[in-house]
Amino acid sequence: MSSIISVITTPFQLKYFLNNIEHEEFKKFKKIILLVDSKLTIPPNNHSIEIIRIEIKIFYLSKIISKSFLHLRKEIIEYLKQSKSLIHYLMNNNDIKGIVIMSEKLLFTQLLMAIAIKKNTYVYGMEEGFGHYNTDNLVSNIKKIFYPIISLFLFGFPYQFYSQLGTYRKISCLFVRDISKVKKRKHINYIESTLALQKIKNRMQSGKVLLATSVLSEDGYISEYEEYKVYMLVVDILYHSNYKIYIKQHPRELKRKINHNSVKYLPNNIIFEDINYAEYDYIINFKSSIVIDAVLNGYPSNRIITIGKVKSKNEPFFSQTIQIEDYKNFRIEKNHE
């Protein structure tokens, strides 16, 4: 029985995968195998799905090559030992004829791509963020050179690292939400796929602001203390500008980072794509994928504030928004209601 397999780590990935699985491309497969993070809840569905629950640890290349390299090597090797039976299952299951890649950054994703090379399976990409829209740059090219060396040291065997899934030579089909913004490659069949769009027409003047926090400290960009200072400055300005502040945490944030009486946290089980953007006067983000969904839903880009350096050529969605490179320069018009 031919099977297709994917790794699911976030509620959005699960929803996006199930939304697209009815496509004609997947009808050649009789069975779906999902490696699902043990913390996720699977909603009822009508598909023939085998669920394999695993603890999925997040090992990003940016952290692997950081100062904690030796510590991470020990942690990764232990993780691989615990997952030995699963890896053996994946490598030796001859029924697996297709692989769906949601995020190229995960250790298990890289293992799946290594399996794809060995088994000559169909490889599908499903856009879950900005990887498919960005173009390769100097940093990503350097990573491609060094990852085979690093993976040999970490895992005991070398394999390639592909920083943007759209450049992966074995991908035959790529599901994206906005084909017009993708740098096309000849070998890929592009399919435009959307979740249910809200198509915002009338935006409320509610005095509410949606603040999408990020994993700036978790991914090693800045320290926890520096991240706290960034958020508190933004919140303080919003508070004194008479806005009601609602916070949507990133799925990988382990704790609430903002301690301020004026903020309200949205429930953790709500994904960006389920939010009614029309309720908010502004959306403030730190280069978050919420921008993709908000823009495609028709939310005015001049009401989306992106904090962080934006390279307009490589990051088309962010370039439409109000860009503030240094958080210290954050300003917003006063709410007069």
Yes or no: say if 278 and 200 are a contact pair by the CB < 8 Å rule: yes
> What tens digit of pLDDT does each residue of 281-310 get?
999 999 888 888 888 888 898 999 999 887
Q: Does the domain formed by 3-192 have CATH 3.40.50?
A: yes
Q: Determine the pLDDT at residue 68.
A: 55
Token couple for 182: 């993708």
Yes or no: say if 257 and 223 are a contact pair by the CB < 8 Å rule: no
> What tens digit of pLDDT does each residue of 153-162 get?
666 667 777 6
The Cα–Cα gap between 165 and 138 comes to: 16
What does pTM read for this prediction?
0.79
DSSP string covering 232-256: HHHHHHHHHTT-EEEEE--TT--S-
Q: Angle formed by the axes of helices 84-92 and 69-82, to 10°? A: 70
Break the chain into its structural domains and give their ranges: 3-192, 208-329
Q: Determine the pLDDT at residue 172.
A: 83
Burial tier of 108 (Cβ tally within 10 Å: 0-12, 13-18, 19+): buried
Q: Determine the pLDDT at residue 202.
A: 60
The Cα–Cα gap between 283 and 263 comes to: 14
For the chain, what's the residue count?
A: 337
Q: Determine the pLDDT at residue 102.
A: 83
> What tens digit of pLDDT does each residue of 58-106 get?
665 555 555 455 666 677 677 666 666 777 777 788 888 888 888 777 7
DSSP string covering 57-70: ----HHHHTSTTHH
Q: Which segments in the chain show pLDDT lower than 70?
A: 1, 44-47, 56-73, 76, 79-84, 107-108, 134-137, 139, 150-151, 153-157, 162-165, 167, 194-204, 311-314, 336-337
Q: Which residues contact 50 (CB under 8 A, 6 or more apart)?
A: 3, 31, 32, 33, 34
What dihedral angle (degrees, nearest 10) is formed by the CA atoms of 217, 220, 222, 227? Answer: -10
Element (H, E) at 182: none
CA atoms within 13 A on the CB side of 259: 3
The Cα–Cα gap between 103 and 100 comes to: 9
Is there a common fold for 3-192 and 208-329?
yes
Match domain 208-329 to its CATH number in 3.90.550.10, 1.20.58.760, 3.40.50.720, 3.40.50.2000.
Answer: 3.40.50.2000
Token couple for 192: 């435009």
Element (H, E) at 307: strand 304-307
The Cα–Cα gap between 183 and 88 comes to: 36
Q: Determine the pLDDT at residue 67.
A: 47
